Amino acid sequence: MVAFPIMRSPLALLLSLSILLSTILAAGKFTPEIMLSLKRRQYAAPNPEGTFALYTSTQWDFKANADSYVLGVYNLTNGTTEKDRTLLFSNSSSISNALWLGDGTMFVWFVWEDDGSTTVKVGDAVKPEAEPITAGKIPGFADGLKLVELSKGNYAVAFFGTADSDGKLVNFSAQQTPASSARMYTQIFVRHWDSYVAPQKNSIWYTTLSSEPSGYTLGQPINALNGTGLESPLPPFPDPSQFDIGKNGIVFTAKEPKLPQATTTKSDIYYIPLKTFQESPPTPQVILTLDLEGASSGPVFSPNGFSLVFLSMKEHAYEADKNRIMFVADITKSVTSEEFYVTPDGNGGWDRSPISVTWSVDGKYLYLPADDFGRSRLFSVAADPKLKELPQIIFAEGWVDRAYPVIDGRILVSSESLLDNSIYSWVDPVISGSKNATEGVTLIDANLKYGAEWGLSRSQISEFWYKGEGDYQVHSWVVRPSFYKEGEKYPLFFYVHGGPQSANTDWWSYRWNLALWAEQGYIVVAPNPTGSTGFGKSFTDAVQNEWGGRPYRDLELAITHIEASMPEIDVANAVQVGSSYGGYMTYWISGQPLGKKFKAQLVQDGTFNTVQFYATDELWYIQHDFNGTLWDNYDNYDRWNPARFTKEWMTPMLIVHSDLDYRTPVTDGLAAFNVLQSKGIPSIFLNYPDEGHNIRNAENSLIFHKTMFDWLNGYVGLPRYSDEGDLAYRATLQNGPWILNGK
């Protein structure tokens, strides 16, 4: 296949397009419609014996304009194919929070009822035809179910929901609409992520679930936080990883109510001691972290219920600070924690930031997923903060989603990769740890078979390192089309990730799918410049007050490296794309010399004017990254402001920005579009009134992909993606001429 410069004879262009189209079609092309219609299988949660696992999946049907739902039981011991191994338990979308109930195949789940209440059911996972037991009803919406066995057949249960001002669980179906729509605020937050802040707060409830001759009975739920002023799980993404239940009580993450909520990340782990889980809650106790003043997260009780492990950051206003492993030996005797790998300089002896922590079944080891050189790897370490041996890698490839140990010592790992959205594997931590994860890992199933149906394979994916702006190396992913041929040139698709403290990794994405882009006929290059995670704390931290500095120069040097050593990439025929911080960087690039290298650009939800960044929600984010406040450090905000360089803008640009994005408000996208239009630069503004920082609706995502490929492909000579007769797509045009293929 040949990539096409703009200036070509019509005959040569037609011939090249014909060759390209036949090559792509022969490959059984991976398309946006296929990607968005895939079964989205979630992590597998095994029973203690490791014989069965519970999982859920959803799948969008464009013809029916609806999702299908599955609660499935995966046989981990019998069957050679997914069909043989899988038992459908239910396809009701109202079922959620399935958890194993002790040993064997019994489990408990929530049913979200139409009247706004939640029913608790118990059944046998391998007998879906049997009538389940109704254990009780919760009067409002409940989520995040957790439980621990207190004695044979008797369990302590915890869940979260929304509490009103009286501490009662909110039933959203029973709420009345106020006469006025006015909202008044006397402190921030006003809005957070994609919604305005309401007076109701998240809270945790606990009770008991007891087995009886006639079945199971749920006790009366008790609000653990009533009257404390604390909120948990924390918004805007409340989830069960923020609390845990053990035989000796409940632990949870919360912020001190008197702290300024929008300007500090500081949160603590609190402990509520309980014995019967029917008594009233005592005053929560703060777990002490000594000199660590940042966010604490992910508290997990040990299997015996006495020890506690969690993660904590040092800085009070840095959301991407390194997570440190914290340990409490016996929470019934002391609430003071110890830090793993303490060093005199305060940086810690392990230069990685774990995402979560899981205990081994015997309580002797901890398993920690962490970003590491463009992947999320699983590490193992002995559960003793006094030991100095660094964690061992026990699972090395892709992106670890969940890790569940079972009784025999193995770990069921759910992961994903650039070519598959759900992979199940067994890991033997003893063998794998001793062999640096080159042995001891057994694949159970890859949901998409690594894209084989569409001609995809790992041979398309490679990596390279190049010298950055300073004395350091920068990592980059490369994804080639499945129909790539040696000796031919392909246009460049240059992608800048968000964050900036994030990374391009070996993981699956429905928004930014590198393999999907490559199948259009591009070679995709996705660098990890300064600020990226997984390459050491100092590399991540160096983006502070350098938003348009070191990362930009790293990206310039990536292009220099490609020009010098990758002749298969047609750098003269390139497009550039970025989202969130990557969108900011796209605006910045457009006003810098590098912008002249690209024939077209795309921005999703990017920051255009850093001086106006105080319209965002989480002020700690910008005050850390710009090293101060706007009034005390104005020059820091102005120095890296893309709006200062709009006189240099020349590159055609597609801007995608949604109304419910309160992290980077839609006015940034509108302002940039106004500049482009006023300057006569070809441009499109694609807007979603019902989306936030991420496009989640499948129909909206399809329009996004059609618009993206129609826009970018035309500037590099690749075929238009959409069908001219696609009326639903064309109906999105509100004014102005229809633009396809950059014309």
CB atoms closer than 10 angstroms to residue 275: 11
In order of 35, 169, 265, 268, 270, the CA distances from 256 in angstroms are 43, 22, 11, 8, 10
Catalytic residue among 693, 701, 710, 722: 693
Specify the DSSP element, H or E, that contains 82: helix 82-85
Q: Which positions ≥6 away from 87 have C-beta within 8 Å?
A: 72, 73, 74, 75, 125, 126, 128
CB atoms closer than 10 angstroms to residue 534: 22
The strand pairing partners of 464, in sequence order, are 476
Burial 660-671 (b: 16+ CB within 10 A, else e): bbbbbbbebbeb
Q: Mark whether 726 is an active-site residue.
A: no
Q: Mark whether 661 is an active-site residue.
A: yes
User: How far is 143 from 64, CA to CA, in rounded Å?
Assistant: 28
User: How far is 605 from 703, CA to CA, in rounded Å?
Assistant: 16
Catalytic residue among 445, 661, 668, 710: 661
User: How far is 273 from 663, CA to CA, in rounded Å?
Assistant: 37
Contact (Cβ atoms closer than 8 angstroms) between residue 121 and residue 111: yes
Q: Mark whether 638 is an active-site residue.
A: no
Contact (Cβ atoms closer than 8 angstroms) between residue 603 and residue 578: yes
CB atoms closer than 10 angstroms to residue 635: 9
User: How far is 561 from 338, CA to CA, in rounded Å?
Assistant: 45
Contact (Cβ atoms closer than 8 angstroms) between residue 395 and residue 441: yes
Contact (Cβ atoms closer than 8 angstroms) between residue 532 and residue 540: yes
Contact (Cβ atoms closer than 8 angstroms) between residue 424 and residue 414: yes
In order of 189, 283, 398, 408, 598, the CA distances from 185 in angstroms are 8, 29, 44, 54, 45
- Phi/psi for 55 (5° steps) reads -150, 160
Catalytic residue among 425, 432, 502, 580: 580
Return the structure tokens found at 509. 């994405």
In order of 5, 297, 307, the CA distances from 12 in angstroms are 11, 59, 71
Q: DSSP secondary-structure letter at 549?
A: S
Contact (Cβ atoms closer than 8 angstroms) between residue 531 and residue 501: yes
- In terms of phi and psi (left: phi > 0; alpha: psi -120 to 50; beta: otherwise), the region of 671 is alpha
User: How far is 730 from 708, CA to CA, in rounded Å?
Assistant: 14
Return the structure tokens found at 650. 């020349």
Residues with catalytic annotation?
580, 661, 693
